[in-house]
C-alpha cells in the first residue's frame, strides 16, 4: 500500500515539473518578444492585456486546493480597491497619458525605457499573475 502510493507520487512529479518548466519557458519567451513593443503604444498595451486576461481566466476556472476563510469586509475592500484602480486606468487611458493623471504605464515608463528592463518587467508581471492565479 505504501509502496504503491510512493510510486503514484513519483509518477506525478515529472508531469508537474514539465508544466512548471513549460510555464517558465513560456513566460521567458513571451517577455523577450513582448519587450520589443515600444512603450506606451497600442501593441504594448495588447502585450500586457492579452496575457493578463488569459491569467484571469486561468485563475477563475481552476478550483483551489484549499479554502481560505474571508470576511465580507475583506472581500468588499479588495473589490473596491480593484474597482478604483480599473476606473483610474480607464479614465487615464481615455483621457490620454497626462503627467498630472498618469496611467500605471506612464508612471513606470522611466524605469522600463530600455529593453532589458522591459523584459524583466514582463517576467515579473507574468510570474506574479501566474502565482496569483495558481493560489
| DSSP assignment of the chain | -HHHHHHHHHHHHHHHHHHHHHHHHHHHHHHHHHTTSPTTSHHHHHHHHHHHHHHHHHHHHSPPSS-----HHHHHHHHHHHHHHHHHHHHHHHH--BTTB--HHHHHTTTT-SHHHHHHHHHHHHHHHHHHHT-
Q: Can you give the pLDDT at residue 48?
A: 86
Range of the domain at 48: 2-133
What whole-number distance in Å separates Cα of residue 17 and Cα of residue 30? Answer: 20
What whole-number distance in Å separates Cα of residue 32 and Cα of residue 10? Answer: 34
Residue with cell 510570474: 127
Q: Can you give the pLDDT at residue 76?
A: 94
Question: For the chain, what is the domain count?
Answer: 1
- Could you read off the pLDDT of 23-74 as tens digits, one per residue? 888 899 989 988 898 887 888 888 888 988 888 888 888 777 777 788 999 9
Residue with cell 499573475: 129
Residue with cell 517558465: 24
Q: Can you give the pLDDT at residue 17?
A: 66
Q: Which residue has the higher pLDDT, 16 or 64?
A: 64
Confidence of residue 117 (pLDDT cuts 50, 70, 90): very high
- Could you read off the pLDDT of 76-115 as tens digits, one per residue? 998 999 999 889 888 877 877 677 777 777 788 888 888 9
Amino acid at each position: 500500500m505504501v509502496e504503491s502510493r510512493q510510486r503514484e507520487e513519483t509518477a506525478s512529479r515529472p508531469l508537474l515539473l514539465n508544466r512548471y518548466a513549460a510555464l517558465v519557458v513560456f513566460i521567458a519567451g513571451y517577455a523577450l518578444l513582448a519587450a520589443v513593443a515600444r512603450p506606451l503604444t497600442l501593441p504594448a498595451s495588447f502585450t500586457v492585456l492579452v496575457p493578463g486576461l488569459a491569467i484571469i481566466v486561468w485563475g477563475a476556472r481552476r478550483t483551489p486546493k484549499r479554502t481560505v476563510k474571508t470576511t465580507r469586509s475583506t472581500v468588499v475592500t479588495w473589490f473596491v480597491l480593484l474597482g478604483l484602480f480599473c476606473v483610474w486606468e480607464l479614465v487615464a487611458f481615455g483621457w490620454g497619458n497626462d503627467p498630472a493623471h498618469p496611467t500605471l504605464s506612464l508612471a513606470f515608463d522611466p524605469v522600463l525605457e530600455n529593453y532589458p528592463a522591459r523584459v524583466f518587467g514582463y517576467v515579473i508581471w507574468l510570474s506574479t499573475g501566474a502565482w496569483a492565479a495558481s493560489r
